Amino acid sequence: MHRSRATGALLLLLAGVWQHGGRCAETSPEGVARGLQAWLDGTRDLKCRFEQSLDSGALGAGVPESGSMLLLRPGRARWDYAEPERKIAILDGDSTRVYLPADRQMIRGTLPAEGQALHALLTRRSRVEEMFVPSLLPAVGGRGIRLRLVPRGKGESFEAVVLDLDPSSFAIRAAEVADGSGNVVRYRFYDMQRNRGVGEESFHFQPPPGTEILEAP
């Protein structure tokens, strides 16, 4: 896996698949955002499987990837890619580590500014309404809720996050991240397990002996 591809994936990381009991009492953008926030506030950890694809504005559709994700709030996320190439991406606060077993390399760096709002949405205590301006889009197939979140901060390199939500629980079925260059990363999530006891040891990854350690520019 080329370093630039791994770094590009980190810049557009988005994960989150959630289940929350209750019924959708509001259908306004602000009400749906509050429902999402309520689920986040009640989430300590999460594990799930994911499928990821990239539509590049310059290169077209990329190769789909899949694997599993672990989340520990606040601050930590781990993505274990299984297909088509193995790699592990760990985010701990603003620090990042990407392990590429085929290349016997681990790349260490700091989460760039363009990725911080997304990481904050997933793992920090920042409020959805403070970070994003919400709006509603037509749901795919006329079912569910489609929430568009536009960053409030100026200078972000991504344009919007779009979430497909379950109308009765605010669970996230799918997510899209679009940047200013015509690139869109899409995720679908499966087998969600919320607050089942993901431990901190899952984020203390040590690469095998002989791994080359590189510092991201």
Q: What is the pLDDT of residues 104-125, one digit of tens each?
A: 999 999 876 545 656 777 777 7
Task: Count up the domains in the chain and report the number.
Answer: 1
CB 190 within 8 A of CB 49: yes
Q: Using 50, 70 and 90 to split pLDDT, how confident is the model at 13?
A: very low
Distance linking the first and last C-alpha atoms of the chain: 17
Q: How many Å apart are CA 112 and CA 8, to the nearest integer? A: 11
CB 93 within 8 A of CB 142: no
- Tell me the per-residue pLDDT of 43-78, one tens digit each, with 9 for 90 and over: 899 999 999 998 876 666 778 999 999 999 888 999
Whichever domain contains 29, its CATH number is 2.50.20.10
pTM: 0.79
pLDDT of 72: 93
CB 36 within 8 A of CB 135: no
153: containing domain = 3-215
Contacts for 118 with CB less than 8 Å, ≥ 6 apart = 12, 13, 14, 158, 161, 177
